[in-house]
């Protein structure tokens, strides 16, 4: 049973897009995943997104994706919203993954805009609706044109918001003007998908975050949201500014690389990466230590 939701925050407020821990030989580390998920929830996350880009989903098999969802639901599913990434650039395959995630116990689905194919808006609409129609789970869209090659237009988001199970959007578009209009018109619960824009997106109507740095600073992100919600914008701004070195430092190279490096330095399960991603270099790790220390995180 998923934790209680509201229409305003259907998946909670602070979610982390969790890395997928691997063993030293590159296999799926289910025990490590359970331990990491428990740590993240204990640290202040009220939701976890599995099998997303940060979870190295392009390199995990369908079977591994299902095993990961089952393991994490078993570990923390009574305390956190477990959202499974199921979007691909193949609608039929995405439907299969959605049904698999539902059977594995996920509480919701993350559906990224189809990448590489560059479909028109009608194709984006039909893709998302077809996946939403395939299960009884609530859906969070994921608009990230920098990776997908196409953006969800405001009119498309408005149309998708009419579907009873499409309830939220993870926004990594980097366009506050577009977000403002889409939030006002679509009725979708809005989640920041770009850590450095967490506070600006709150100012135009976002309700929460799907974070990468939440692996390290979930409590600070929650404090930022609490302060903003309480009307203490000065405190929220101070927290935001204090975290700027973390927001920037974690993305000096591909985010999964430095997230796994940071978790390993902290003694948490992470393991190696699967190609085409590669481990952080000693120079990158040294810079990461400096960046995180400047943001109050000491490894």
The catalytically annotated residue of 65, 125, 142, 228 is 142
Whether 235 sits among the annotated catalytic residues: the reply is no
Query: Is 54 within any annotated ligand binding site?
Result: yes
Q: Which fold has domain 14-236?
A: TIM Barrel (3.20.20)
Q: Where are the domains of the chain?
A: 14-236
**Tens-place pLDDT, residues 233-283:** 999 999 999 999 999 999 999 999 999 999 999 999 999 999 999 999 999
Query: Is 19 within any annotated ligand binding site?
Result: no
Whether 116 sits among the annotated catalytic residues: the reply is no
Helix axes 214-229, 30-42, angle to 10 degrees: 30
Let me know how long the chain is: 299
Q: Give dist(CA 3, CA 197) in Å, integer.
A: 27
What is the reported pLDDT for 58?
97
DSSP 23-74: -TTS-B-HHHHHHHHHHHHHTT-SEEEESSTTTTGGGS-HHHHHHHHHHHHH
What is the reported pLDDT for 3?
81
**Tens-digit pLDDT string for the chain (299 aa):** 778 777 799 999 999 999 999 999 999 999 999 999 999 999 999 999 999 999 999 999 999 999 999 999 999 999 999 999 999 999 999 999 999 999 999 999 999 999 999 999 999 999 999 999 999 999 999 999 999 999 999 999 999 999 999 999 999 999 999 999 999 999 999 999 999 999 999 999 999 999 999 999 999 999 999 999 999 999 999 999 999 999 999 999 999 999 999 999 999 999 999 999 999 999 999 999 999 999 999 88
Three-state secondary-structure class, residue 166: strand
The catalytically annotated residue of 65, 170, 173, 260 is 170
What is the CB neighbour count within 10 angstroms for residue 178? 18
């Amino acid at each position: 049973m998923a934790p209680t939701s509201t229409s305003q925050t259907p998946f909670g407020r602070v979610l982390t897009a969790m890395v997928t821990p691997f063993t030293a030989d590159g296999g799926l580390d289910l025990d490590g995943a359970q331990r990491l998920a428990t740590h993240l929830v204990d640290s202040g996350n009220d939701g976890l997104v599995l099998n997303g880009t940060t979870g190295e989903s392009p390199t995990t098999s369908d079977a591994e994706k299902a095993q990961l969802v089952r393991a994490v639901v078993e570990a923390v599913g009574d305390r956190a919203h477990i959202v499974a990434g199921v979007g691909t650039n193949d609608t039929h395959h995405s439907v299969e993954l959605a049904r698999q995630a539902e059977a594995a116990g996920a509480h919701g689905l993350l559906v990224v805009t189809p990448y590489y194919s560059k479909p028109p808006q009608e194709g984006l609409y039909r893709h998302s609706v077809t996946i939403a129609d395939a299960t009884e789970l609530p859906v969070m869209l994921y608009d990230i044109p920098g990776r997908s090659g196409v953006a969800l237009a405001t009119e498309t988001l408005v149309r998708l918001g009419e579907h009873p199970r499409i309830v939220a959007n993870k926004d990594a578009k980097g366009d506050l003007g577009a977000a403002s209009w889409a939030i006002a018109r679509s009725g979708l619960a809005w989640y920041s998908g770009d850590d450095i824009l967490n506070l600006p997106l709150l100012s135009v109507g976002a309700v929460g975050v799907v974070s990468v740095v939440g692996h390290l600073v979930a409590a600070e992100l929650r404090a930022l949201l609490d302060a903003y919600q309480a009307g203490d914008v000065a405190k929220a701004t101070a927290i935001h500014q204090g975290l700027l070195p973390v927001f920037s430092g974690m993305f000096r190279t591909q985010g999964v690389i430095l997230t796994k490096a940071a978790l390993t330095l902290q003694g948490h399960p992470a393991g190696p990466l699967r190609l085409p991603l590669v481990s952080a270099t000693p120079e990158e790790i040294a810079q990461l230590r400096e960046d995180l220390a400047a943001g109050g995180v000491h490894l």
